[in-house]
Amino acid sequence: MVGLKDAALEGEDVYWLEGRPGEGGRTVIVHRSPEGQTRDVNPQPFNARTRVHEYGGGDFVVHNGTVYFSNFADQRLYSAHPGGVPEPLTAEIDHRYADMTVDAARNRLIAVREDHTDPGEPVNELVGISLEDGAETVLATGQDFCSSPRLSPDGRSLAWLTWNHPNMPWDGTELWVAGLDESGRPAAPERVAGGPDESVFQPEWSPDGTLHFVSDRTGWWNLYRSERGFVEPLCPMEAEFGLPQWQFGMSTYGFLSPTRIACAPIERGVFRLGLLNTQTGELAQIETPYSVIGHLRTNGGSGEILFVAGSPTEPPAIVRLDARTGDSEVLHRAGDLGIDSGYLSAPETVEFPTENGLTAHGFFYPPKNRDFAAPEGELPPLLVLSHGGPTGMTLPSLDLEIQHRTSRGFAVLDVNYGGSTGYGREYRRRLDGMWGVVDVDDCAGGAKYLAEKGLVDGDRLLIAGGSAGGYTTLCALAFRDAFAAGASHYGVSDAAALAEETHKFESRYLDGLIGPYPERADLYRERSPIHHTDGLSCPVIFFQGLEDEVVPPNQAITMFEALKAKGLPVAYLPFEGEQHGFRRAENIKRALDAELYFYSRVFGFDLADDVEPVRIENLDTK
């Protein structure tokens, strides 16, 4: 199954990104003609993926049938036509580009550039890039980060976002607007919204030239417009019209006309599709079978809405919907699985008590396999999943890794712990200064809740997670006694090492999650599982990409060696060529099989599948 990552509309032509595990994780831009024919825009070996902020996004833009994209291998920008050979636009220099928009009047791209030519921290700027010769002109500089350059319909004004250390974009950003002078440079920029305690997301111009944006100034990411120096809300409500800006090019709304907006707000962790009348503030919901809606794009002239959609029972899909009739069409699915619903576990929304009298959220998947049933009276083991980020969210859509587990007798609780998106700024800020505490409490609280409800076996509680979720997993195993085993996928074990070694985008992230470093080195040590292996008394398996620059491999290796020396059952699986998250089909499968094999060996049950064994240290001494 491929990954669907982005989408674009130009007239009746549709474009999207596919991450193809079967091609070593290569990202391909696919073009779909008005007649329904598809073909790749970037042939082998081109890989449409930028490394700005390491997480990328905003990898391509389309204008008049020409696609401009960032190539992963050299990070240069290329121009291409479907079926043609890409041609380089930018020079061979240590620059990276993302979030491009086309300035047709000046025959240039406007893009975020990350300059790595000098030692030390890279420089992030907005630049203009000539479409004739690739010459670059700096348009905005002086801030630590920038994103979302958006050109007004008449080409006379530019809007963009900035933020500075130690803020992350979901903490506080600033929205700037400037007119463009005769040379195409911004003149007299003006801050329209935002600040250190207000997160602004996705500025967009309406067809009549009115600037719109999303802000969480009330505690919820809601839609606003700025007109003649006044900012006004369009539809105040306790819902999230924005997302944490981990990647460039994210979009939750688009214009169908100057007064009609298609949007995808999140309520209680679930996306809805709606039409907002900006004159009346009325939000009308469009009924769809989808619980996840991303990369929403519009074609105002036709009333078309394009988005990447997910549901609990179908693979992700590129969907086109006619806002006038409500009719929708699936243009492309991530895969044709043909899985009988008798093997699929549907997520159940759960709320459960956690520490300090608060409530946390998640999705519970009971085990399901139409061909098998548990012995009478036997409760299933529970695998608690802690998502990455940690400023992120888990989504109620078809996840084959979850289904792999539930079809084999496991119950799964996918936790949106305090700090997650989708429940307002106050919920998101529960993790401020409390990473490794609140998230752990919520994961342990969810497991306890389900065990007390008699839904799972309280003696067979497991926890797993990737990246920040791996950190939560290791903290839960080191600082709590709720779980009997765990799996860390490229997870953090030494918070101080992460603060010292990670890339620019996240280099001050932990200031807010734990505290300033090195001033609070004591707190980092207190919250780092690597320094508290004495609290670990259960089996753990580690998975790690050897080219990971977000969480370097030495963290997993150090933790593995410490547990091995302690005599605990432990395994470590490194993957050549993988970065932060696995993209190659064979590695994704290997990690999934290996985790299940690990659980089977440490808990003594037989697997129905023939799985390649994993070397487990100290297993015989358990």
- Does residue 576 have a pLDDT over 70? yes
**412 in a structural domain:** yes
Between 610 and 241, name the one with better pLDDT.
Answer: 241
For the chain, what is the domain count?
2
Q: What is the pLDDT of residue 622?
A: 46
Helix, strand or coil, per DSSP, at residue 553: helix
Confidence band (pLDDT; 50, 70, 90) for 302? confident
Considering 315, 338, 361, which residue would you say is the last residue of a domain? 338
Q: What is d(CA 59, CA 69) in angstroms, rounded to the nearest whole number?
A: 6
Q: What is the pLDDT of residues 357-386, one digit of tens each?
A: 999 999 999 999 999 888 888 999 999 999
Task: Write down the residue that tokens 């007299």 correspond to.
Answer: 188
Confidence band (pLDDT; 50, 70, 90) for 290? very high
For residues 450 and 321, state if they share a domain. Answer: no
Q: What is the pLDDT of residue 376?
A: 87
For residues 316 and 442, state if they share a domain. Answer: no
Q: What is the pLDDT of residue 45?
A: 96
For residues 403 and 484, state if they share a domain. Answer: yes
For residues 380 and 518, state if they share a domain. Answer: yes
Using the Cα atoms of residue 395, residue 398, residue 399 and residue 405 in order, give the sign of their dihedral: positive
**121 in a structural domain:** no
Considering 305, 320, 338, which residue would you say is the last residue of a domain? 338
For residues 453 and 332, state if they share a domain. Answer: no
What average pLDDT does range 448-472 have in this prediction? 96
* CA 536 from centre of chain: 30
Q: What is the pLDDT of residue 407?
A: 94
| Distance set, CA 366 to CA 121, 254, 379, 455, 512 (Å) | 47, 37, 10, 8, 35
**124 in a structural domain:** no
For residues 400 and 537, state if they share a domain. Answer: yes
Q: What is the pLDDT of residues 406-418, one digit of tens each?
A: 999 999 999 999 9
User: How much of the chain exceeds pLDDT 90, in percent?
Assistant: 84
Residue 380: other Cβ atoms inside 10 A: 19
- DSSP annotation string for 498-516: HHHHS-GGGTTHHHHHT--
**292 in a structural domain:** yes
Q: What is the pLDDT of residues 541-551, one digit of tens each?
A: 999 999 987 78
* CA 56 from centre of chain: 10
For residues 286 and 432, state if they share a domain. Answer: no
- Does residue 58 have a pLDDT over 90? yes
Q: Model pTM?
A: 0.92
For residues 591 and 482, state if they share a domain. Answer: yes
For residues 586 and 485, state if they share a domain. Answer: yes
**73 in a structural domain:** no
What average pLDDT does range 463-467 have in this prediction? 95
List phi, psi (to 5°) of 588: -60, -45
- Does residue 621 have a pLDDT over 60? no
Task: Write down the residue that tokens 């979009």 correspond to.
Answer: 251
For residues 258 and 365, state if they share a domain. Answer: no
Considering 295, 323, 338, which residue would you say is the last residue of a domain? 338
Residue 46: other Cβ atoms inside 10 A: 21
- Our CA dihedral for 335, 338, 339, 341, rounded to 10 degrees, sits at 120
Confidence band (pLDDT; 50, 70, 90) for 335? confident
Least confident of 331-340, 436-445, 468-477, 590-599: 331-340
Amino acid symbol at 546: L
Sheet holding 157-163, edge to edge: 145-151, 157-163, 174-180, 186-194
What average pLDDT does range 86-93 have in this prediction? 97
Q: What is the pLDDT of residue 579?
A: 86
* CA 285 from centre of chain: 25
Q: What is the pLDDT of residue 248?
A: 98
Q: What is the pLDDT of residues 603-616, one digit of tens each?
A: 888 888 888 999 99
Average pLDDT, the chain: 94
- Does residue 229 have a pLDDT over 90? no
Q: Which domain holds residue 540?
A: 344-621
Confidence band (pLDDT; 50, 70, 90) for 525? very high
Q: What is d(CA 366, CA 347) in angstroms, rounded to the nearest whole number?
A: 8
* CA 119 from centre of chain: 29
Q: What is d(CA 496, CA 362) in angstroms, rounded to the nearest whole number?
A: 29
Confidence band (pLDDT; 50, 70, 90) for 581? confident
- HEC assignment per residue over 32-61: ECCCCCEEECCCCCCCECCCCCCCCECCEE
Q: What is the pLDDT of residue 383?
A: 98
What average pLDDT does range 327-344 have in this prediction? 90
Tell me whether residue 289 is exposed, middle or buried, using C-beta atoms within 10 angstroms of its C-beta: 0 to 12, 13 to 18, 19 or more.
Answer: exposed
List phi, psi (to 5°) of 524: -65, -40
* CATH number of the CATH domain containing 539: 3.40.50.1820
For residues 446 and 369, state if they share a domain. Answer: yes
Q: What is the pLDDT of residue 615?
A: 95
Q: What is the pLDDT of residue 583?
A: 82
For residues 310 and 437, state if they share a domain. Answer: no
